[in-house]
Structure 1
Amino acid sequence: MVNSTFKTRDASSPLASSPIPLYLQIADILRGRINRREWLAGALIPTLEALASEFKVARVTARQAVQLLASEGLLASRRGYGTVVTKADDAPNIVVMKTSLESLAAMYETTSAKILTFDESHAMPSVAADAGKLGSNYVHMRRLHFTKGKPYAVISLYLLQEVFQRSPEEFRLRAVIPLLLRMKRAVRIERAHQTMSIGAADPETARLLEISVGTPVAHVTRVFLDRQDRILYYAEVLYRGDWVKWEIELQT
């Protein structure tokens, strides 16, 4: 009977439609309140009953969210007093993503990367039919990108082999997009397109980005085409959802 009650309350939560576990969603909301200094260090947070009522979940679900933040060092239980904020997350949790190639390149110039896998032998991206025309061969690189020493993105990219061969050592060691823009006389990017969706971190992504499994991540697909609609660069990128700020210019 108790379990049935929990299920009914969780099912009524406005968060229940997401595939991400409820306690992870709640933990992410509470973490945001701490990071935005809505809850200051030393402040007493609402009781589990109050949190359960706010999010329309079972008390055990609220407890799981609070316990997760306690394990991260953001909250601590004080016997006879309640749960208090210990500190804001020290992570550099803003990576500004803009919508021009130049600003995107500038952002990557300020970050570092580590190669996870590298394949120079006949790699081919799996792309949608309308994404562009595939070239004859691509170099595949999977990289973990860092800002201020903390991982914020996992990038799986494919670079046309003939483009890679123009500067192979630099492409191995440095961010690809800034290099492509510096090669604009030899490598002409005629069109660039990206799409974004929100998903949940799988176990491997969570390990690499140092987040919990199921935490929201931004999934970006990025394509650069030449004048013949041939794909020069194709990437699948997973960003920490809590560290990325997108700035989009609205047309008037």
Structure 2
Amino acid sequence: MSRASSSPIPLYLQIADSLRDRIARGVWQQGEIIPTLEQIADEFDVARVTARQAVQLLMSEGALTPQRGRGTFVSATAPTLKPVQVVTTLAALVEMYQATTQQLLTVEENRRRPPITTADGVLAEHYVHMKRVHSSDGLPYCVISLYLEDKIFSMSPDRFREELAIPTLVELSPRSIAKARQTLTIGSADAETARLLRVPTDSPVARVQRVFNDLENVVIYYADVVYRGDAVKVEMDLGSLPVKNSS
């Protein structure tokens, strides 16, 4: 299995990411010996020194432990995320947020207008912008840049700063939401997002853009949410094919 040499990410980081994923998925169990450096180098078609760098990185993270004369063993099971279900209604979205325990870290707050298009609606005069990291059990799973119309934010600034924005918005001003929609796309993490999510740069991510409008089509809430690729679950009921009568 050859690694993509054209990637801007160093080879040893690419390999470390693959090895880390094996631990997270349980392919390599805690207490199990991993392949030798020579075997890893052969598998990824790299030099032995590159394989060593990847393994040493996981050692520094505490995921692997060398034992003299025996080899290198999996010392800890990588933390796993409970997947976030992609829902398709506002009610289900509120219910999902209310049913989860999350830690919020605000990394930026300022006055800024959302980067909307004319198709999204009409801009209000002022917005409050907050950039946050959402974590579950101490593990970050999404970075969100959200914009709230200033009039709504001023209803309860402390709550909007300390609690999840959507359930708070629905509770404080439910009639303000005349229309709500979201778009899901797949991409890769930039350097800043990767740092906040603790994943390698260019790791797969799911990007969700949400727009809420009032009766006058004014955008009262806009959010750009970037989820770790391993934190998203999309499940759809496709139904069944009609059974043909063979008689």
- Fold conserved between structures, TM > 0.5: yes
- In the TM superposition, what is the alpha-carbon distance from 1:195 to its structure 2 partner? 2.6
Equivalenced residue count is: 235
Q: Does 1:114 align with 2:101?
A: no
Residues 82-161 of structure 1 mapped to structure 2, 5 A cutoff: 82-89=71-78, 91-100=79-88, 101-109=90-98, 110-119=101-110, 121=111, 123-161=112-150
Distance (Å, rounded) in 2 between the aligned partners of 1:248 and 1:49: 40
TM-score by length of 1: 0.78
Matching residue's letter, 2:225: V
Deviations 1:15-67 (A, max 9, x none): 44554433323222222221222212221111222222222333333222211
The alpha-carbon distance between structure 1 residues 214 and 97, as it changes in their structure 2 partners (threshold 3 A), is: same
Matching residue's letter, 1:66: V
- In the TM superposition, what is the alpha-carbon distance from 1:160 to its structure 2 partner? 1.5
Structure 2 partner of 1:246: 233
Structure 1 residue runs of 5 or longer lacking an equivalent are 1-11
Q: Are the counterparts in 2 of residues 112 and 145 from structure 1 also a CA contact under 8 Å?
A: yes
Distance (Å, rounded) in 2 between the aligned partners of 1:15 and 1:231: 42
Q: Are the counterparts in 2 of residues 217 and 238 from structure 1 also a CA contact under 8 Å?
A: no
> What secondary structure, in the 3-state scheme, does the structure 2 residue paired with 1:186 have?
helix
Q: Are the counterparts in 2 of residues 191 and 224 from structure 1 also a CA contact under 8 Å?
A: yes
Q: Are the counterparts in 1 of residues 152 and 173 from structure 2 also a CA contact under 8 Å?
A: no
Q: Are the counterparts in 1 of residues 106 and 133 from structure 2 also a CA contact under 8 Å?
A: yes
Distance (Å, rounded) in 2 between the aligned partners of 1:66 and 1:146: 27
Structure 2 partner of 1:218: 205
Correspondent of 2:182 among 167, 188, 193: 193
Identity rate, percent:
41
> What secondary structure, in the 3-state scheme, does the structure 1 residue paired with 2:184 have?
strand
The alpha-carbon distance between structure 1 residues 137 and 69, as it changes in their structure 2 partners (threshold 3 A), is: same
Distance (Å, rounded) in 2 between the aligned partners of 1:197 and 1:150: 21
Distance (Å, rounded) in 1 between the aligned partners of 2:6 and 2:95: 37
Residues 1-150 of structure 1 mapped to structure 2, 5 A cutoff: 13-16=2-5, 18-89=7-78, 91-100=79-88, 101-109=90-98, 110-119=101-110, 121=111, 123-150=112-139
Matching residue's letter, 2:148: L
Distance (Å, rounded) in 2 between the aligned partners of 1:28 and 1:149: 20
RMSD between superposed Cα atoms in Å: 2.7
Matching residue's letter, 2:55: V
Q: Are the counterparts in 1 of residues 37 and 48 from structure 2 also a CA contact under 8 Å?
A: yes
- In the TM superposition, what is the alpha-carbon distance from 1:187 to its structure 2 partner? 1.5
The alpha-carbon distance between structure 1 residues 162 and 63, as it changes in their structure 2 partners (threshold 3 A), is: same
Structure 2 residue runs of 5 or longer lacking an equivalent are 240-247
Structure 2 partner of 1:167: 156
- In the TM superposition, what is the alpha-carbon distance from 1:82 to its structure 2 partner? 1.9
